[in-house]
């Protein structure tokens, strides 16, 4: 039985081959530089940005049968101008995704994923080319239909 670590002595069985490898730093930096040239605020996706950087840097093959669902909506707090970014950024990202130039669209395409773009409630009219799934706002509790949020 092995405890804590693989034995160091000559009689130990060979260590199993690892199929995992970390991307080298220049590949991660290159992936991040490429992402910075696309329509996104650098680091705006937080942990997801770092995960995408590592996946791109690994240079893995395509993912068969996968779907990336990119959904965007305006957060109500954006109306209070508490963010350093304009409230139009959500719409800009969805427009770019529809045209295949957003970070998510490019990342999905680079690994062979199908892309589904959802307008879940950005300001203004529904984004052309995106599936509109906007929240229903019931102004009258007795109403049987609702008004779509704009």
| Residue 4 belongs to a domain | no
Q: Note the pLDDT tens digit of each residue in 58-85.
A: 776 444 557 888 888 888 777 788 877 7
Domain boundaries, position 69: 25-148
| Residue 138 belongs to a domain | yes
Q: Note the pLDDT tens digit of each residue in 107-142.
A: 888 878 889 999 998 888 999 999 998 876 555 555
| Residue 113 belongs to a domain | yes
| Residue 56 belongs to a domain | yes
For the whole model, what pTM was predicted? 0.51
| Residue 102 belongs to a domain | yes
| Residue 131 belongs to a domain | yes
H or E segment at 67?
strand 67-72
Rounded Cα gap, residues 92 and 9, in angstroms: 60
């Amino acid at each position: 039985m092995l405890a804590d670590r693989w034995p160091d002595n000559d009689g130990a069985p060979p260590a199993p081959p690892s199929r995992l490898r970390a991307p080298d730093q220049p590949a991660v930096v290159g992936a991040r530089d490429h992402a910075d040239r696309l329509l996104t605020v650098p680091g705006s996706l937080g942990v997801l940005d770092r995960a995408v950087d590592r996946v791109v840097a690994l240079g893995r093959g395509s993912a068969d049968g996968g779907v990336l669902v990119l959904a965007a909506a305006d957060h109500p707090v954006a109306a209070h101008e508490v963010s350093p970014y304009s409230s139009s950024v959500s719409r800009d990202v969805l427009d770019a995704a529809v045209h295949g130039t957003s970070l998510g669209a490019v990342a999905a395409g680079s690994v062979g994923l199908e892309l589904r773009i959802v307008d879940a409630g950005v300001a203004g009219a529904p984004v052309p080319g995106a599936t509109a799934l906007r929240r229903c706002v019931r102004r009258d509790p007795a109403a049987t239909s609702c008004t779509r949020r704009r």
